[in-house]
Structure 1
Amino acid sequence: MVRIAPFEIEQWMDKYETTPGVLNIAETCAASVSIDDLVGLCEDKDAPGPLTLSKPMTYGAIRGSQTLRERIASLFDRVSPSHLSADDVIVTQGAIAANFLLFYTLIGPGDHVICVYPTYQQLYAVPESLGAEVSLWKLKQEQGYVADVGELEKLAKPNTKMIVINTPNNPTGSCIPRPVLEAIVAFAKGRGIIILSDEVYSPLYHSLPHGKEAPPSILAFGYEKTVATGSMSKAFALAGIRVGWLASRDKSIIEAVAAARDYTTISVSQLDDQVAAYALSNNVLPALLRRNMELARTNLALLSGFVTKYSSVCFWEKPVAGTTALIQFRNKGRPVEDPDFILDVLSKTKVFFMPASPCFGLGNDFKGYVRLGYVCHTDVLKTGLAQLGQYLEQHLL
């Protein structure tokens, strides 16, 4: 029997994000858009809308429509020396399904997996539940939460089958620079290890240091045994359509995942497929990404000002990408008990964000840290930070 640990972050979200009157700055998606918003962003006002209502609602294309898979593949063209084809893409119910299917297909007892940490719990808990041994590749704040490739030699074993990375990273908002990605690929290629890169927050590289270019996808380095997953939820502000993908140039991986998928969801909703394809069209995508990048930059400046104002009790490594920040709060020099802190803030102010120690940490890791999602609507963030500031002044300062 498969035994899987409780998915802490999802349980916290399910329990508290619907609190009446909540100011939700825990959400990790760029502020969600409506179908009407998408139509308003379309640069060709005479273009067809997102839905063909006369289309019969069959299962549709099992791996995703040709149009959608082509448009997902084109997302990788900006950073790849060779074109990705629609046949290299499988459409799934969110990136969470893409990740799960890959693990379910490829990982089992006797395998060893290396996974960056902290990251989304799924990425190490699911391989472990399938019987694999998992080693955590710990990211350090003093190194900007960038993986140290030198540690791979110590972590790797003869049975290491997969290295799992997450860039931009949830919860830290860091990203892996191109030279580090190149080194990871070289290490894996020399040993025949598969690399899974969860790129669900790409391409929100909104605050890189001056002169630094956005790093490419893991698929850009010419190593066939690489897999990238992503979705419409985070960077594209469309979590409600539940569309994600898995992409790889390794045909054997694509076919194995497709075969396993036959036992689960068969296909995604045709309506969702159409909306995703519309959002990724040349008429809509540029404006949608501009909107989300501007929102991220505006809101990160607000959050940075908040951390500076309350620097006696707030400590962080400022994010450079994605939608999340990892912040530690201290009371009289000691880390707060973050689950209690979160619940007390929620009860007194209606402001909600996530405790990091139960949701991203093992043991005492990340005590006092919280994950805050800052690419919500700006007025929500402003109000939430104002309320949180008043709480800090009354209880921690």
Structure 2
Amino acid sequence: MVRFQRFEVEQWMDDYETTPGVLNIAETCVESVSIDQLVQLSNDKAANPLQTSTVLTYGAIRGSSTLRERIASLYEGEQVSSDNVLVTQGAIAANFLVFYGLVGPGDHVICVYPTYQQLFSVPESLGAEVSLWRLHAENGFLPDMGELEQLAKENTKMIVINNPNNPTGVPIPRDLIDKIVDFARARDMIVLSDEVYRPLFHDGIENNPNMPPSVADLGYEKAIVTGSLSKAYSLAGIRVGWIASRDKAIIERLAEARHYTAISVSQLDDQVASYALSPAVRGPLLKRNVDMAKRNAGMVKAFVEQHRALCSWVAPTAGTTAFVQFRSEGKPVDDVAFCRDVLDKTKVFFVPGSHCFGRGEDFAGYVRVGYVGSSAVLAEALQKLAAYVGQNLVQ
């Protein structure tokens, strides 16, 4: 029997997010949109997001050619062709498939930490040895290449990164991405980059010199990226993600493994995804979402600065999440008890860091805030949270 750890962040969401009257600032997607809203954003109002005459067969097994071409166009130049894209049911299926198809007993995997638990728990469940590449707040939650050198082994098969990072909201900059890929290339290691929050960089997408490249843009054959329409594109409900790699052998291996987990994605989901990534829609949608992320991050920044005697963070510059540490009497709070008490007394809902992203006492006192849902909900939640910490935490 496969042994797997409880997926704590998803279990926490399942347990509490339907609490009546909840002010949900745990959600990590940019405020979701409807198909009608996509049409309103579009620069081409005549285009149809759904072909209602389509006969609902399984459709294209690997994803429609239109969708795969539009996903491939997200990467620079001709680094990735449509034949090197595999459409999946969300990025969570994409990540699982990469591990299921490529990792097993006898393999060693290095994974950044903290990150989405799937990225280290799934390879462990498949029999691989996993070393956690710890990110430190005092280093701005950026990976340290010296620590990578110490973690690497002769049987290291894969390095796993998450860029931009969940839960910290910190992107790995270009120079470090280059070094990680060069390190892997010199040792013939696979690099898996979970890029579900790309391209939600708060400084903007166009002409932004600080925006790091996708790992798929760096010319390394054994680089794999996963992405989805859920986070940066506000379309979690269509459950469309993907795997992309220049290495055709990797894509073929994962396509073979995929037959055991899914035949295809829904044709309707495929059509909506294709529409969202069309030139007429993608630009306006991302502008909306980057503007919202920047504005709402400013609201959280104001809260942290106002209560800096009780909390601290590394300010996020990308994505939708922030990792905030709360203290009382100079010590980290019990973040699990803190989150439950805040929810009980204020209806403000977020995620405890040590429980959902750490092991043991790692990341004690931290909570993950998802701040790019409704701006109105965030404003009300921060107001109630301010009253709570003022009454219950001690400097």
| Matching residue of 1:271 | 268
Residue 252 of structure 1: which of 249, 253, 258 is its match?
249
1:38-91 deviation per Cα after TM superposition (whole angstroms, max 9, x unaligned):
0111111222x21011100000000000000000110112xxx53421101000
Superposition pairs of residues 70-81 of structure 1, within 5 angstroms: 70-77=69-76, 81=77
1:173-229 deviation per Cα after TM superposition (whole angstroms, max 9, x unaligned):
111111111111111111100000000000011148x97420000011111000000
- Matched AA of 2:125: S
Q: Tell me whether 1:390 sits opposite 2:377 in the alignment.
A: no
| Matching residue of 1:127 | 123
Secondary structure of the 1:124 match is helix
Q: Tell me whether 1:156 sits opposite 2:152 in the alignment.
A: yes
Residue 200 of structure 1: which of 186, 196, 199 is its match?
196
Does the C-alpha gap of structure 1 residues 68 and 211 become closer, same or farther in structure 2, counting only changes over 3 Å?
A: closer
Contact 1:7 1:121 (8 Å CA) reproduced: yes
- Matched AA of 1:167: N
| Matching residue of 1:229 | 226
Secondary structure of the 1:284 match is helix
CA–CA distance in 1 between the matches of 2:94 and 2:142?
24
Q: Tell me whether 1:182 sits opposite 2:178 in the alignment.
A: yes
Superposition pairs of residues 60-139 of structure 1, within 5 angstroms: 60-77=59-76, 81-139=77-135
Contact 1:120 1:171 (8 Å CA) reproduced: yes
Please provide the CA RMSD for this pair. Answer: 1.1
Give ranges in structure 1 of 5+ residues lacking alignment. Answer: none
Bigger mean CA deviation after superposition, 199-208 or 275-284? 199-208
1:223-242 deviation per Cα after TM superposition (whole angstroms, max 9, x unaligned):
10000000000000000000
Return the offset for 1:376. Answer: 0.9
Contact 2:72 2:80 (8 Å CA) reproduced: yes
- Matched AA of 2:256: A
**Aligned residue-pair number:** 392
- Matched AA of 2:34: S
The structure 1 segments of at least 4 consecutive aligned residues displaced by more than 4 Å after TM superposition are none
Contact 2:303 2:382 (8 Å CA) reproduced: yes
| Matching residue of 2:55 | 56
1:301-356 deviation per Cα after TM superposition (whole angstroms, max 9, x unaligned):
11000000111101111001100000000111111100100010001111100000
Contact 1:207 1:319 (8 Å CA) reproduced: no
| Matching residue of 2:355 | 358
Contact 2:79 2:219 (8 Å CA) reproduced: no
Give ranges in structure 2 of 5+ residues lacking alignment. Answer: none
The normalised TM-score by structure 2 is 0.98
Secondary structure of the 1:273 match is helix
Tell me the percent identity: 63
Secondary structure of the 1:125 match is helix
- Matched AA of 2:49: P
